Structure 1
Amino acid sequence: MELTLISKYIIIPETKSIRAEFNDKGECRSLVLEGNYTFTVDMKPIEIIDESLKYYGFDLNGAISGTKAIIGPCKAAPVRIPGEIDMYWFPHTWPGQDDCVWFALHHVADIMPDGQNLSSVYVSGGHCFKLNTSEKDLSFKYDRTEKLESRISKRTVNTFSFIMERTTDNYSVEKGKRNYIITRKKD
């Protein structure tokens, strides 16, 4: 069965995975799983990640640098595709390798061992990927991506709390440009 071939692709929330596929000439392309559809894109997986980041106003080097600043030094760093879709993606191996498979964190349902240094990754919709990587290594990458998501979420969620001593005075609280302004009301 011949899959549809498209020249460019930008990740959307329904995109579950991106993996390499090689044509008859040995050139690397991508096999994209989006919803229940699979199609071929005439770009390497890393190029799709980079183009998607650029589409939303960022780039791969910046995303990797930001990840390392938040969770510390790491190989095969996960990335956040920010903006309206705000998605987190992680590679199963070093992203520069042509056979690297990228997964959308929110679509990964389970990671199971499948023999020595083999694992199966189940994504939403029941799709399964068998990879030459241990379950422990893939689970670590998944957990690291969740850690990135959690830390960014904590930094971007607006929280408002303050402690005031109990007095008989009346105070008003107003939102300023950067902080809240607390003033005592005069009688």
Structure 2
Amino acid sequence: MEEVCKKEYEINPQTMALIAKYDERGQVVTQAFEKNGSFEVAKWPSQIVDDSCRYFASSLEGRLLGTKQVTSYTHKPPIVISEAMGIYFFPIISPKRKECSWIAHKYIRSFKGEPDHTTSLKFSNGTSINIPVSVGMFANQVQRTAHFRVILEDRLNSSPVSHDARHELIAETFS
């Protein structure tokens, strides 16, 4: 089966990972993994993350600064792409590098270190991939993302205005 290479892609609730790889011309492209399959995108992963953050009214740089403000994480910080949809991703190397792959926190089911110092990752749909980072570094990223999620979700849930009241305020504003 011939694989289609998309030019545009936005992260959505089905996105499990954006894995950097080299195409036949030596350019960095993305293998996007979703719950129901995978395909290539003709952009590097951090470009897709930035485009997706912009779709939700921010940017990758803004999300990185936000995470730093909330957690003090300065190196490889996890980010939230959409608070409303609970889409949290973390990078496996510096997000500034074209080769930086991104993993969706909620789809990780298990992971283990390999003898070649890579990490095998299993997603909730049974898909497995191997990523070029140590299991210790990967475990740290998983833990930091969980910590960030708890802090941010606590802040969102303890807001003084209830969810229903927010919707009423919005409805009144536009009526």
TM-score under structure 2 length normalisation: 0.85
Residue 66 and residue 37 in structure 1: after superposition, are their counterparts in 2 closer, same or farther (change >3 A)? Answer: same
Q: 2:73 — aligned with what?
A: 73
Give CA deviations for 1:132-155 in whole Å, capped at 9, x if unaligned.
221111000110001100000111
Greater strand share, structure number: 1
Look up the SS of the partner of 2:90 in the other structure: strand
Q: 2:105 — aligned with what?
A: 105
Give CA deviations for 1:110-131 in whole Å, capped at 9, x if unaligned.
1211125221111121112212
* Paired residues, number: 161
Give CA deviations for 1:137-176 in whole Å, capped at 9, x if unaligned.
100011000110000011111377xxxxxxxxxxxxxx9x
Whether contact under 8 Å (1:22, 1:29) holds in the other structure is: yes
Look up the SS of the partner of 2:9 in the other structure: coil
Deviation for aligned residue 1:70? 0.9
Greater helix share, structure number: 2
Distance in 2, Cα, partners of 1:27 & 1:50: 19
Residues 15-164 of structure 1 mapped to structure 2, 5 A cutoff? 15-115=15-115, 117-158=117-158
Distance in 2, Cα, partners of 1:52 & 1:85: 13
Whether contact under 8 Å (1:56, 1:83) holds in the other structure is: no
Deviation for aligned residue 1:93? 1.4
Q: 2:169 — aligned with what?
A: none
Distance in 1, Cα, partners of 2:99 & 2:57: 26
* Root mean square deviation, CA, Å: 1.7
Whether contact under 8 Å (2:46, 2:101) holds in the other structure is: no
Distance in 2, Cα, partners of 1:21 & 1:94: 15
Distance in 2, Cα, partners of 1:70 & 1:31: 30
Whether contact under 8 Å (2:44, 2:99) holds in the other structure is: no
Whether contact under 8 Å (1:6, 1:40) holds in the other structure is: yes
Q: Show structure 2 runs of 5+ residues with no match.
A: 166-175
Whether contact under 8 Å (1:94, 1:100) holds in the other structure is: yes
Q: 1:168 — aligned with what?
A: none
Residue 116 and residue 20 in structure 1: after superposition, are their counterparts in 2 closer, same or farther (change >3 A)? Answer: closer
Distance in 2, Cα, partners of 1:159 & 1:67: 18
Residue 159 and residue 75 in structure 1: after superposition, are their counterparts in 2 closer, same or farther (change >3 A)? Answer: closer
TM-score under structure 1 length normalisation: 0.80
Whether contact under 8 Å (2:56, 2:81) holds in the other structure is: yes
| Runs of 4+ more than 4 Å apart | none
Highest CA radius of gyration, 1 or 2? 1
Distance in 1, Cα, partners of 2:116 & 2:30: 27
